[in-house]
Structure 1
Amino acid sequence: MREATATRSRAPQVLARCRALVRPALVEAVGRSHPWLGEMAGYSFGWCGVGGVPAAGSGGKGVRQALAVLGAEAAGAPARAGVPAAVAVELVHAFSLLHDDIMDGDTARRGRATVWKAYGTGPAVLAGDALFALAVETLALQPPPVGADAVRLLSGALGDLVRGQADDLLFAARPWSGPERVRPDAYRAMAEGKTGALLGCAAALGAVLGGASPAAVAALDRAGRHLGVAFQVVDDVLGIWGDPSVTGKPVHGDLRERKKTFPVLAALDSPAPAARRLAVLLERGGDPGEAAALAEAAGGRAAALAEADRQVAAAESALADAPLAAGAVRDLRSLVDFAVRRDL
């Protein structure tokens, strides 16, 4: 336990180091876009307010950009070799959040209005498109053949991300019970695409730019994909049972929005009597607090935490089996543990 805690305690320093390294290049990339679109991008990263007034926001923890930097270091290259990969994945992540907020109708992110709410839906869509274009350009500017390899890798991850997002949207229309209900294995596949693909791509892209072997690139991609599933499952747990003062989300928020999350799907798959009562309650749109209690009684919370542990173990196994630099693997493991153990 002490070893796991010590590993996790490295993560904030690792994240801060990578953010400081990547920030100037990220600012430069955003600066290549149209000024109005650049303002919206800066707003999404927390760098400014509406109208371009400077702000002190950091744009989040920067897990994806850190994975890219560490991917390069894992290949034995200097950290700066992974910076273009870090910029590209951070731009893609921001693009996906802008569009996700529109699709989900979310009006707030990181304590303030989302881009579409602050600037309008059309401008937010266009800003997201601009970020996507900048990401591709950032990798295409890398010297051949590495640049082409990096663009192909990002393209494949984006295809998986879009498929995962499509499945997530389609899940909303499926019933809570019966043969057409969403099963946990379908959820895993969705989460790997929607969340895991870009995390895996981040680490793999850094490795590609760092000159890693195909085996090392593939191992980092696998580790990131497993981390993505674990991250999404933990996010689901926090969305139901997390402390609102810590998560920034209302208590039982995901149940109130009738989201098909892993704990609920695992509970519905259980033979426990509480599972049947939960299905009936969800079908008629009952009390979220009662639904949370039934999901826990049917084993949904425990199943979700066990699933997160399995995915973390798979990520660590992928890192252990690949020819990677030991120091970078230690830092990668600290990020895995930090991202999954948050506030549980």
Structure 2
Amino acid sequence: MKGGKIRWGLLGAGAILNRWMKGAVQVEDMEIVAVASRTMETVRRMANQFSIPNALSYEELLERDDVDAVYIPVPHAGHKELALKAMKAGKHVLVEKPAAVTAKDFDEMTACAAKQRVFFMEAMWTRFFPLIEALRICLDEERIGQVRALHSSFAFRSDPQQSPRLFLPEQAGGALLDTGVYNLHFAEMVFQKQPEKITGLASINTDDLHLQVDEQGSYVARYEQGELAVMTSAIRTEMPDTAWLYGTKGSIEIPNFWKPTKMCVTADGRKEWIVRPVFQRIPGVEDEGYQYEIRHTQECIRAGYIESPVMTWKKSRDVLSICDQLRAEWGLRYPFEK
């Protein structure tokens, strides 16, 4: 696929769609053709809110010839089913993180993408921020020497009434798959390899048998040169969403590392703030940075790729394998897992 606008369908109308759409309007060469949801009331509301011409069921959207690609923002447990249906219908797929609940499910999804020859990528938007490129340059130039340790946390305070999906085992809820995957992907961005060993502890909700998910967890990874990554995720406890990198000559602090726009490099006794703000093509629409993953997806589709060279299938699968391992350690299985 070469020129012309890429025509998108939205499979789901969850809360994150509001944020993603603010990024979509910043992308010049895309068109939102239709939105779908399980309930027509919801999908009509979203269509009206964003001036999307067609409010449809999932099946109706996937049958349309004027939809080239789909974005899937439903709860984790629904990713595999919708992605497989979309790819079998010949659609390119950008699916919210985590792309699947397990590495096994992810293998089934990538096999389908390869068979159908359609593009498939996990929407780990962090990887596409301009600041990540600036961070890579700092690390390659060894501004802080060799990185020996990483500390990161991504945690916020919520409850089952405010955000039900986070606490429902049948939706693959819990902190690890919601915020923990950001820690794990960020560690891979920094060290550019997988750990040789990782272990962790989690607090599982025992007050309500219907809400048994990991409400918070901490995990430590060790890499082949002795580097350590200490990571924390939580959905009932607020903590700074910050990453700290410690090297042999200095350190780097990255606030909001999962949607980074600035970092403080401390080396040789001096501090330097490096800032890479999110570009706003349309004034008044405050995109948090979703435009970058959308643009990358479209570039890959136009180039005929089925896999991103940045957010590779291996990187997604490696993180899911770690999540599988940690959940096994914690004795945490979802009701739909056999």
TM normalised by structure 2 equals 0.30
Task: Decide which structure has greater strand share.
Answer: 2
Task: Decide which structure has greater helix share.
Answer: 1
